[in-house]
A and B are shown apart, each in its own frame.
Chain A
Amino acid sequence: DAGVTQSPTHLIKTRGQHVTLRCSPISGHKSVSWYQQVLGQGPQFIFQYYEKEERGRGNFPDRFSARQFPNYSSELNVNALLLGDSALYLCASSQGQVSTDTQYFGPGTRLTVL
């Protein structure tokens, strides 16, 4: 079975630009979460979506937004990019939305902001 997939693998943008990252969950999983992993740190929670609705939001500015589509895939959008947005963005999927559900991670999208 296919795992969580993310696209693109790598991305280079300049300050002020906008970026869209994409994620396809494991088949049958209805929840998608997004995490930001800055070099040398653990992942930080950004959003969780379940059944196309936002169910959780981390401590990130409004420049970050996301949505989930009817097929449960998801997009993460970041506006007005800053140098500090350079990171590995990880998508995780789970069957449900409760805290006991195991989250399965994709390979990530490496974003570099110049």
Chain B
Amino acid sequence: AQSVTQLDSQVPVFEEAPVELRCNYSSSVSVYLFWYVQYPNQGLQLLLKYLSGSTLVKGINGFEAEFNKSQTSFHLRKPSVHISDTAEYFCAGSSGSARQLTFGSGTQLTVLP
């Protein structure tokens, strides 16, 4: 069975500072990883995904993530955040024959002026 762990429930950061949101996974089979963002009272929007190939994945809104198999991590990064990046971020994974997404508990990113 797969599990996804987001290590930080809340991350406050000042505007224009860099940010890293941490995600670790456990799976005994091939894993596919996703980052979604959820703005208040809205559904989930896909930021980026890792299926195979290059371990550095670039997504929308200037976000990127690196798949690290040895550390079983898929951390999300942005070099300079904006106020509009304030939202809840979810790491999710699927693997093998399991078609559903398994989500982490989420990280609330708050960008301060």
Contacts and interface: CB of A to CB of B under 8 A. Distances in A.
Interface stretch (B66-74, B78-86, B103-111): B103-111
Interface residues of A, number: 28
Nearest to A46: B100
A99 B90 CA distance: 17
Contacts of A98: 99
B46 A99 contact: no
Given A90-B44, A105-B43, A99 B103 contact: no
Residue among A58, A99, A110 having the largest count of chain B Cβ atoms under 10 Å: A99
A27 interface: no
Main secondary structure of the interface of B (DSSP, over half): strand
A100 B103 contact: no
Main secondary structure of the interface of A (DSSP, over half): loop
Contacts of A4: 43
Interface in B8-48: 32, 34, 36, 41-46
Interface string B43-58: 1111001010000000
Nearest to A91: B43
Given A99-B94, A100-B32, A105-B36, A45 B43 contact: no
Residue among B34, B97, B99, B102 having the largest count of chain A Cβ atoms under 10 Å: B99
B103 A43 contact: yes
A108 B32 contact: no
Given A43-B101, A44-B103, A45-B100, A105 B51 contact: no
Nearest to B42: A107
A33 B42 CA distance: 17
A45 B106 contact: no
Nearest to B36: A105
A104 B45 CA distance: 7
B95 A42 contact: no
A112 interface: no
Interface of A: 4, 33, 35, 40-45, 48, 55-56, 58, 90, 92, 97-108, 110
Closest 7 CB pairs of A and B: A42-B103, A45-B100, A99-B94, A105-B44, A105-B43, A107-B43, A108-B43
